[in-house]
Every structure is written in C-alpha cells, then in structure tokens.
Structure 1
Amino acid sequence: MVRILFSAPPGLWAEYRAPLTRALDEAGIKAEIVTGTGDPAAIDYVVFAPGGGLSDFTPFTGAKAVLSLWAGVETVVGNPTLTQPLCRMVDAGLEEGMVEWVTGHVLRHHLGFDRDICATEPHWDQRVPPLARDRTVAVLGLGALGRACAEALAALRFRVLGWSRNPRAVPGIDCHHGAEGLRPVLEQAGIVVLLLPRTPETEGLIDAERLSWLPEGAVLLNPGRGALIDEAAVLAALDAGRLGHATLDVFRTEPLPPDHPFWRHPRVTVTPHVASETRPASAARVIAENVRRAEAGEPLLFRVDRARGY
C-alpha cells in the first residue's frame, strides 16, 4: 500500500477526494491518502498545490515524487528543500479549457464583437471583418497548451505563427524560435496569445520595446502568466493607441487589486484567472497514472526540468 499526502489549499480535498480515490482504484493502486503529514518519512507521494502550508520537503525522505496539481510550477521549482522528482500537471481538462478561452477571445476580437455588444445608441455599422485566413495570430509558447491552441486556431484557418525559446515543429504552424525569431513574429501579428511559462527568461518579455514591434492596433491576450508582461508598458501602449486591446486572465497580484488601472481602462478586459482550471476528474487520472508508473519503475509523465524551470 502506498501512502499519499494531499497538500493543497483548504477546500480542495473535498473536490478531489472522490475522483482521486476512484482514479487510484482504477489504476490498480492500493493507497492511503492523508491530509496531515503525521510521519513525513512514511509518505510515498506528495500531491501538491501552493497554499496548503507545505514549504519544507526535507522530512519527506521516502517520497518518490511530488505531483503538482498546477501546470505552472514557478512557485515551487526553486525550493532548495525539494529534491524529489517534481511533475507538473498536464491533462485534457486544462488543455480543453485553454483552447476554448483562447479561441473564444481570438474570435471575439477578430470579428469585432465588442463594437456591437458595447453599443449604447442605434447604429448600423456594416464593416465586414477579414476572413480568418487574412488575420495573423501569434502564439508565444508551444508547449502542450500553446500547441493545442495554435492547432485549433489553424483549424479555423487563421494564419498562425508560433514562437518558442527553443526549436519546435508543429505541423501547419509557421514556427520560429530564439531571440532572433521573436521580432519577425510580433511584427506580423494582429493578435498575440501568451502561453509561455514564467521563468527568468520570460519575466517581463512583453515590454515597451517588444510592444513597439506590433502592428498598430494589435490585440494582446494573456492567459499564461501575469509576469510575462510589463504592466506599465502595456498601459502606455494602450493609451498611445499602439495596442488596440488587452484581454488579460493572469496578473502579478491575484486577485487583481480593486484600484488597479486595468479595471478602469476602456480597452482592457479582465477575466479572473479562469482560462484554464485543473479539473479534479481529469487531473486525478494524471496523478494516478504517475503513481502507477513510479511503482512500476517506468518514467514519470511531465517531469520538470529544474534547469529550465518547467
């Protein structure tokens, strides 16, 4: 029997108890799941999300892996006490939710829905939007979520440019990489989607200089990480008319403070970090599969590369 510690913010255990128990049973894993550490050395696996009170992994000398419930691991990957293998969350629920949010907001801006929905006076504006094939969308970040979104947008016939820090190949997507590949991508993008992880290299990536590379009136969508953008630079670009709109789901401080200028700016849409949530049913199956793999001596899924930070 394996012993699993579930360490997450209060309230999550009630959501995960049944699906995680069921997923472990379906995987053929006999497990005891606890929410208190008791004897840390007796714990075989830690299911982890920030906010559960666990910050020192040193006592978990018998733990074979720490299994994150979050796709992003920037809050824990640099923890010097975490020497166990760390796996991030990649599951179908996260991917589907992100694809729906991204395609929905890309289409909203592409078709100009805001112009019609926000009208307060009778109007008959018959401006016809271009076809998707005539609109270029740049997806920055071609991991599991970025790739899925790029492929969905390409299926809608948008011209999709992909950018990543390291070389990637995605069929049907014009892929670029490295510092030298970013400018030509941004210079062509009518809509930019940020789906990069937060690392020292991506912190503040979208700054004043890179915003100046965009075509005038371009739209920025950020469902990735709040730290990817320089907030002051985005506001300045919006005020100058350089940036047409920013639809933002993630922020450096969450919840977004009530006095933050994003709330009041007429060309900013705030969504409350809902672009892609971990769904307990699908996430539990990922956790159970990694436990099964570790017990069988097989490679873990989605193991984090500590040097790269994800």
Structure 2
Amino acid sequence: MEPADELRLAIIGLGKIARDRHLGAIAGIPGLRLVATADPRSSLTGVPAFPSLEALLASGTGFDAVALCTPSQIRARLAAGALRAGKHVLLEKPPGATVAEIAPLLELARRKGRSLHASWHSRHAPAVEPARSMLASRRIRAVRIEWMEDVRRWHPGQDWIWEPGGLGVFDPGINALSILTRILPQPVFLTGADLLFPGNRSAPIAADLRFTDAHGLDGSAAFDWRPQGPENWTIRVDTEEGSLTIEGGGRRLLEGERLLLEEPKAEYDAIYRHFAALARSGECDVDLAPLVHVADAFLLGRRMLVEDFA
C-alpha cells in the first residue's frame, strides 16, 4: 500500500461497538473508505453487505483490510481467514478469547506481509500519554483502580459476553489494564484475585485484583458491572512526589486536586489513523499485556457465587 493510496475497509460484525464507534471514525478520516460489511443479521444502507467474511471474500469485492468487531470467541478464526486472503487486520479489544491464539496470527501476518493490530482504544484517551511521561521518572508507591459501569447500559442483550471467552466484567476492566500497562514505567503482575460469578452465568460480573511489581508496588483494582448510577472509570497513582489521577476513562488528568487536562476522547479516530499507518508500512502492533493480566486473574482468582443475573 503506497502512502497516497486509499485504504478500503470492511467491517466484520456490525453490532453496537461497530455502530457506536467504528463507523464514525472511518467516515471522518481522509484516505479511509468503508466498502463492505459482513454480518448475518445486520447491514447498512448503501454499503454492500454479506452474511459472513467467507461470503465477502468469495464475492470478489475489492478491499484491503478488515476491522473485526465480532465477539472475541470467533475472532482468531476470522483473522486467520482474512490474513490468508492478503488483508490487513484490525482486532477490536480483547484481541482474542485466549492469549495463545494470537501468536500464530502474528506469524501469519508477517509471513503474508500484512499488518495485524491488536487495538486498545483506551490507550488513546487524552490523559494517557501525559500521565505516562509524568510517571516515567517518579517512584510509585500505590495504584488504585475503580472501574464501575452498568452492564445493562453498555452491553444490552449481549449473551456472548457471559460465555467462556467473553470475559464478563473484564471486557470493560481490560480497558483499565490497557491504560495501566501503558502508563507505568515498570511491569506489574497479579498476586491474587476474587472473581464474583452470578449463579446463572459463566463469566464474572465483578472482580477484585491485587498486583505488585519488582519494587513492591501496592496495587489493587475493583471492576464491577452492577452499579446503575454514573460510571466510575478512575485510576489513581500515588508517588513520592504526590498523586496522579486519571478520571473518566482517560478524559481528565489531575495532579493532586489540580486539573491538568480535560479533553473529549477521540479514541477510534486515533486507532484508525494508526492502523492506516501500519498498513502503509506493512508493520504489526500487537501488545498482549492487558490480556495476560486477565488470564492471570482467571488462573489466580477465587471463584465466588453471587445472585443470578437477569
């Protein structure tokens, strides 16, 4: 793909996240064009629609890349099919249902000379890079994460998210972990977790994590899908020089009580600009650190039963 070329995109999976975030970002960036969708139950007026990726590939429709917005449980199979067909691949978060299934995709992408991008939209929030710069030279003492939202608002009727591989409350919680693994100067690792499962579901509705680093960091995270009031997406980092707090999922940055930054988020615009640059260069960008922490939580986590979810 030459720098001046148009990147022709197909969206695979035309659900809530595709409609809420991907479509607007694609439409607003010069050099990107949506040329097809693939979904067995949904379509867009004026855009060629197919019931599956396989049907799209068989149609002969010209396109360069796919954005996989399907449930995570089927994403690896679809990514492999697209890469074998010579397409660049953008993976919504989480990149897959398991950690190990991503390595073969990365090997396939490199063998085909195609780009594979495991996107973490929250890393593109406006407070993230300033926080990363400020923390680079500070001695960090503690981290406290609170990530609370109402599952009925953000995932209405999405049964797949409660199935194995759907992650449950870690679907939003992994956003916090993607920020954490970007802003801290030292890697962290989990030391324990409590996972709260509704009696009628196969994925947790809440989770409490404990983590540390090589220097004895005191870290904790609380994820919960049960609150029905305003969302609380907050990361507080206590250092020897004072505290930094990321609020609103990355919209605001405070040092102590002083507001340093407050900006609207345009995360998916940034994702697609980055993906287009990767496609031009044929490079890959796949960081699995947030997914590794989720996998570790399931390895270490104590399972606790709570009331059924209805």
TM range (shorter): 0.3 to 0.5
**Structure with higher strand content:** 2
* TM-score, L = length of structure 2: 0.39
TM-score, normalised on structure 1? 0.39
| Structure of larger gyration radius | 1
